[in-house]
Amino acid sequence: MIYGQLVIGPPGSGKTTYCHAMSEYLQGLGRKVAIVNLDPANDVLPYKPSVDVSHLITVENVMEHIKLGPNGGLIYCMEFLEKKVDWLLDELQKVKDCYLLFDCPGQVELYTHNQSVQKIVSTLLKSGFMLSAVHLVDSHYCCDPAKFMAVLLTSLSTMLQLEMPHINVLSKADLIEKHGKLHFNLDFYTDVLDLEELVSLLSDDPFLVKYKKLNVALKELVESYNLVSFHLLSIKSKECMSKVLQAADKANGYVFGVNEENRNIQNMLSCAMSADFEDAKIADIREKYVSMDTESGQGYISQGR
Ligand SMILES: Nc1nc2c(ncn2[C@@H]2O[C@H](COP(=O)(O)OP(=O)(O)OP(=O)(O)O)[C@@H](O)[C@H]2O)c(=O)[nH]1
Ligand SMILES: [Mg+2]
């Protein structure tokens, strides 16, 4: 079995930084790890990839020779990689004894509309790769109710399209209040249990008030699937890195494997039962990076949802 994480998310959400930081974190734990660069637009990388799609194709070359723009060029590259997936499988043989981190491109349509990434993933899963998707989204979107609604919809459609074990992550949590105060407590954004108040906030916006019915329908759509929730991540926090790793290991099955020293019965049980208190998942970020009072004056106390 080859275990790993498919690191996806919109442009600039922190995928490359996460792959680098997570590989160092894993090496610190004694795990053998390799990074696979699947982004044909990545030219300067902070890490040394063990497998690199730019040896097969780059966006720059496609733009020059096929006269496509950057978005079209990237779609072309991923469709090309889909056709040449045997190249990828051969390359991955070189790192078959490692835990893999796939650094993916950021274009959102690759995960919500275009089928190439989904087909590549499906081939990897059928070939014995045990992968979880780690979907990063910039956490500052939490400050704007309309943007947070858009994040929920993108996360949901990505989960449905990729059809693989999936964890959603609000990245750069150390900057969560960079563009304004949060309207609700942190667990409102991480647990996504009741969006009624989000819809009320959207209706307060004079520009959005005419879309009230649409917003209610979107809220009901997200709630009816009951799939989306988030972990918080700042790469500066070891505690966050550990929580995200724990969730990804549980999703891809690594924690239930049998071969390695660090897979002991305690790890398995704590992961299987989510032994952490729910509140501990957000405590580090809340204490360090969120102001005492939310905009609605509800402060630290959970709203009892
Ligand atoms: N403060 C802070 N900055 C971060 C964190 N993670 C990433 N960044 C910054 O976010 C910016 C974008 O990060 P990248 O890793 O290049 O994002 P990406 O998703 O790979 O971007 P594309 O490949 O262009 O889609 C960089 O300036 C990073 O330093 C974090 O946890 N905290
Ligand atoms: Mg990147």
Which residue lies with its CA nearest to atom 10 of ligand 1?
14
pLDDT over 70 (residue 276) = no
pLDDT over 60 (residue 304) = no
CB contact set of 274 (below 8 Å; sequence gap of 6+)? none
10 lines ligand 1 (CB under 6 A): no
pLDDT over 80 (residue 107) = yes
Q: What pTM does this model have?
A: 0.91
Contact between 108 and 154 (Cβ < 8 Å)? yes
249 lines ligand 1 (CB under 6 A): no
Contact between 70 and 108 (Cβ < 8 Å)? no
pLDDT over 50 (residue 297) = no
234 lines ligand 1 (CB under 6 A): yes
CB contact set of 290 (below 8 Å; sequence gap of 6+)? 176, 177, 182, 186
Å from CA of 12 to ligand 1 middle: 5
37 lines ligand 1 (CB under 6 A): no
Å from CA of 37 to ligand 1 middle: 15
| CA gap 117, 167 in Å, rounded | 17
Q: Which two tokens stand for residue 224?
A: 């009816």
Which residue lies with its CA nearest to atom 32 of ligand 1?
172
Q: Which two tokens stand for residue 148?
A: 């947070």
39 lines ligand 1 (CB under 6 A): yes
**Higher pLDDT residue, 158 or 299?**
158
Mean pLDDT of the 107-127 span: 95
Q: Taking all residues of the chain, what is their mean pLDDT, rounded to a whole number?
A: 89
138 lines ligand 1 (CB under 6 A): no
> pLDDT value at position 206?
85
Å from CA of 268 to ligand 2 middle: 32
pLDDT band at 292 (very low <50, low <70, confident <90, very high): low
> pLDDT value at position 289?
79
165 lines ligand 1 (CB under 6 A): no
pLDDT digits (tens, 9 = 90+) for 80-95: 999 999 999 999 999 9
| CA gap 280, 263 in Å, rounded | 22
11 lines ligand 1 (CB under 6 A): yes
pLDDT over 60 (residue 214) = yes
Three-state DSSP state, 152: helix
Low-confidence winner among 107-116, 152-161, 162-171, 264-273 (lowest mean pLDDT): 264-273
Query: In a mutational test of the pocket of ligand 1, which residue from 17, 36, 102 has the highest number of ligand atoms less than 8 Å from its CB?
Result: 17
275 lines ligand 1 (CB under 6 A): no
Low-confidence winner among 52-61, 98-107, 220-229, 269-278 (lowest mean pLDDT): 269-278
CA dihedral sign, ordered 35, 42, 51, 86: positive
Atom number in ligand 1 closest to CA 19: 15
CA dihedral sign, ordered 9, 10, 15, 18: negative
Contact between 62 and 73 (Cβ < 8 Å)? yes
Å from CA of 17 to ligand 1 middle: 5
| CA gap 177, 295 in Å, rounded | 11
The residue written with tokens 């960079």 in the block is 178
Closest listed residue to residue 36, CA positions, set 154, 127, 129: 129
pLDDT digits (tens, 9 = 90+) for 137-173: 999 999 999 999 999 999 999 999 999 999 999 999 9
Q: DSSP letter at 226?
A: T
> pLDDT value at position 305?
31
